[in-house]
Amino acid sequence: MFIIVGLGNPDEKYLKTFHNMGYIAVGDVADKLGAKFKKRECDSVVAEAHIGGEKVLIARPLTYMNESGRAVKQLLKKYKAGAENLVVIYDDYDLLKGKIRIRPSGSAGTHNGMRSVIAEIGFSDFARIRIGIRDEEVNIPLINYVLSEVKREDYELFIAACTRAADAAIALAKGESCENVMTAYNG
């Protein structure tokens, strides 16, 4: 069993915002694995797939970003999964736009959604895939920036980053070591 969670906000008005990179990336995971988001459970909408006979649950929390941890905690409890079975994909203002960074553990940094996840589940030693969103030319408050729409000229860059993040998540779900996935996809 492997659980891949993409952080974001469920309302359509947030669909193309920087804060929804995790939602977009898990959509790519589902597409690549032939899964559909059909079921609601654990304050999430989920898709199910299988890799090598193992179940892979792909989730988009419906709790809004700042309470994402509630949904992740429920998923882990329901499926009796631990840190080794979890990967979380999310946007990261600390990385330049279009970059991705995979880590086997770490802090929440400036990300309130990850802060919620870590606080709710009580550990931080799970894989995470961060999608960089920082544009050095933008000078607005962080909350306004993350909730703003991706600029049209950057759209392809972010689509490519989400696709790479999805590929990295699938590699982790297939059992590749985090170190190998980091080597292949970081940057």
Catalytic residues: 19
Q: How many CB atoms lie within 10 A of CB 41?
A: 14
Label residue 144 left, alpha or beta by phi (over 0 means left) and psi (-120 to 50 means alpha): alpha
The CA distance from 7 to 59, in Å, is 9
SS (H, E, C) 88-101: EEEEEEEEECCCEE
For the record, the structure tokens of 44 come out as 């999430």
Residues linked to residue 2 through DSSP beta bridges, in sequence order:
56
Give how far Cα 132 sits from Cα of 42, 52, 77, 146, Å. Answer: 28, 31, 30, 11
